[in-house]
């Protein structure tokens, strides 16, 4: 049982079952690592490994051979470090907030430097630490989110003393449109990255995310850092999803009943039955990572049948139309599928008007988490 659930509660009593296939996760890692060789494959495990539990996902990836792990915040690195092998490297994508430098330096955590002010603070920490400290330099090549500018790159190239206290592990940037293989922004960002790299001939590149891996070897550099692809999400629009599914989600039925014609369903009476309809109420809602935008759009599945969501998704429950099922098919405690063989992660995200990342990272801790 997941550590966040109460002690002494049977798994069957929880609202649903979130199955996380660690063998599929490892298989996805190995496939990506083989694809990018001789480059090295890292893993992005930020946001608690995309909501799936970094304390379980990290060791599973390490067992598959991964030794480079990217998180977003220093606190994530602190929590994950004790679950990884001693030779694993942890990188903090957002860099360090003021005051975090001493902890990172003492514990071998590597910041991604996104600004000259972060660089200055990490350099000062190196002085205090009495040794050169590892760092990754991130450059903004067109996403306008994080990274040193082209002007900053020129400053560093002209004044190498600014880097005297740092052991630059990689030059890095982030692709904004890598999942769209024909998007011209990809080649524009690659050209910008290559132009910056000329100023740092001894540094290796870390450029490709999940989608970037499928753009070709020119994007790989020395280290790639997939995220969503590891967890079974589709990394590119250039081919059918090549990744193995990692997540399955089934939710329990609270009750079933028959609604006559003219019945109003859900908050605001947003659904109005046109004929007699059999309904089932499910024990999960938007507090469990099933967005309110699924209202009257999404569906669950049972016995291979699509069971539309009717009315608004509530905080802790939602209602589905089970008229197409045999009368006794579902009862109190029965499970229906939200993510699985009949409905992929991308299917659910599409119906919610969002992306697979948001669905994964939002899945709550009231489900029984079953690691396979």
* Domain count for the chain: 2
What are 267-295's pLDDT values in tens digits?
A: 999 999 999 999 999 999 999 999 999 99
Q: Do 219 and 87 belong together in one domain?
A: yes
Q: Do 194 and 67 belong together in one domain?
A: yes
* CB distance 289 to 363 below 8 Å: yes
Active site annotation includes 91: no
Q: Do 45 and 163 belong together in one domain?
A: yes
Q: Which of 50, 89, 231, 267 is catalytic?
A: 267
Nearest one of 349, 352, 46, 74 to 209, comparing CA atoms: 46
Give the DSSP H/E element, type plus range, for residue 206: strand 204-206
The answer to whether residue 242 is domain-embedded is no
| Residue labelled with tokens 């109005």 | 272
What are 11-28's pLDDT values in tens digits?
A: 667 899 999 999 999 999
What is the pLDDT, as a whole number, of residue 6? 47
CATH of the domain at 167: 3.20.20.10
Nearest one of 164, 142, 153 to 198, comparing CA atoms: 153
List of residues 6+ apart from 205 with CB closer than 8 A:
170, 171, 172, 193, 197, 221, 222, 223
What is the pLDDT, as a whole number, of residue 349? 97
* CB distance 311 to 289 below 8 Å: no
Query: Which of the listed residues 198, 231, 264 is the one where a domain comes to its end?
Result: 231
State the burial class of residue 148 (Cβ atoms within 10 Å of its Cβ: 0-12, 13-18, 19+): buried
What are 46-86's pLDDT values in tens digits?
A: 999 999 999 999 999 999 999 999 999 999 999 999 999 99
Residue 118 domain boundaries: 22-231
Active site annotation includes 267: yes
Give the DSSP H/E element, type plus range, for residue 369: strand 368-371
Q: Compute the average pLDDT of residues 242-261.
A: 97
CATH of the domain at 351: 2.40.37.10
Distances (CA, A) of 71 to 24, 26, 40, 93, 204: 21, 18, 17, 6, 20
State the burial class of residue 87 (Cβ atoms within 10 Å of its Cβ: 0-12, 13-18, 19+): exposed
The answer to whether residue 40 is domain-embedded is yes
- Residue 258 — pLDDT band, cuts 50, 70, 90? very high
The answer to whether residue 322 is domain-embedded is yes
pTM over 0.75? The answer is yes
Q: Which of 29, 46, 91, 367 is catalytic?
A: 46
Alpha-carbon distance of 117 to 12, in angstroms, equals 52
What are 314-323's pLDDT values in tens digits?
A: 999 999 999 9
State the burial class of residue 128 (Cβ atoms within 10 Å of its Cβ: 0-12, 13-18, 19+): exposed
């Amino acid at each position: 049982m997941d550590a966040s659930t109460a002690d002494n509660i049977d798994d069957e009593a929880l609202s649903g079952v979130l199955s996380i296939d660690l063998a599929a996760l490892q298989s996805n890692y190995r496939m990506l690592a083989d694809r990018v060789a001789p480059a090295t494959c890292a893993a992005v495990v930020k946001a608690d490994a995309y909501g799936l539990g970094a304390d379980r996902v990290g060791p599973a990836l390490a067992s598959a051979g991964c030794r480079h792990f990217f998180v977003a915040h220093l606190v994530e690195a602190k929590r994950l470090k004790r679950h990884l092998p001693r030779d694993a490297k942890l990188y903090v994508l957002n860099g360090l907030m003021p005051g975090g430098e001493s902890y990172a330096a003492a514990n071998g955590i590597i910041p991604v430097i996104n600004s000259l002010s972060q660089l200055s603070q990490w350099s000062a920490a190196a002085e205090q630490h009495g040794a050169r400290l590892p760092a990754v330099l991130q450059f903004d090549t067109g996403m306008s989110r994080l990274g040193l500018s082209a002007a900053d790159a020129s400053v560093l190239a002209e004044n190498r003393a600014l880097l005297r206290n740092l052991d630059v592990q990689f030059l890095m940037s982030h692709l904004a449109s890598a999942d769209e293989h024909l998007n011209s922004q990809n080649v524009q960002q690659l050209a910008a990255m290559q132009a910056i790299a000329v100023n740092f001939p001894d540094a290796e590149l870390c450029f490709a995310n999940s989608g970037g891996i499928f753009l070709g070897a020119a994007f790989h550099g020395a280290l790639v850092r997939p995220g969503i692809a590891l967890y079974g999400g589709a990394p590119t629009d250039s081919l059918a999803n090549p990744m193995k599914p990692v997540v399955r989600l089934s939710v329990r039925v609270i009750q079933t009943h028959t609604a006559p014609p003219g019945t109003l369903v859900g908050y605001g009476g947003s659904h109005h039955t046109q004929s007699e309809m059999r309904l089932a109420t499910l024990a999960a809602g938007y507090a469990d990572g099933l967005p309110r935008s699924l209202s009257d759009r999404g569906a669950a599945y049972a016995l291979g049948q699509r069971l539309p969501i009717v009315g608004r998704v509530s905080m802790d429950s939602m209602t589905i139309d089970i008229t197409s099922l045999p009368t006794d098919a579902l009862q109190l405690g029965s499970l229906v599928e939200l993510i699985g063989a009949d409905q992929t992660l991308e299917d659910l995200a599409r119906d919610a008007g969002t992306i697979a990342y948001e669905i994964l990272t939002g899945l709550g801790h009231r489900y029984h988490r079953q690691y396979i």
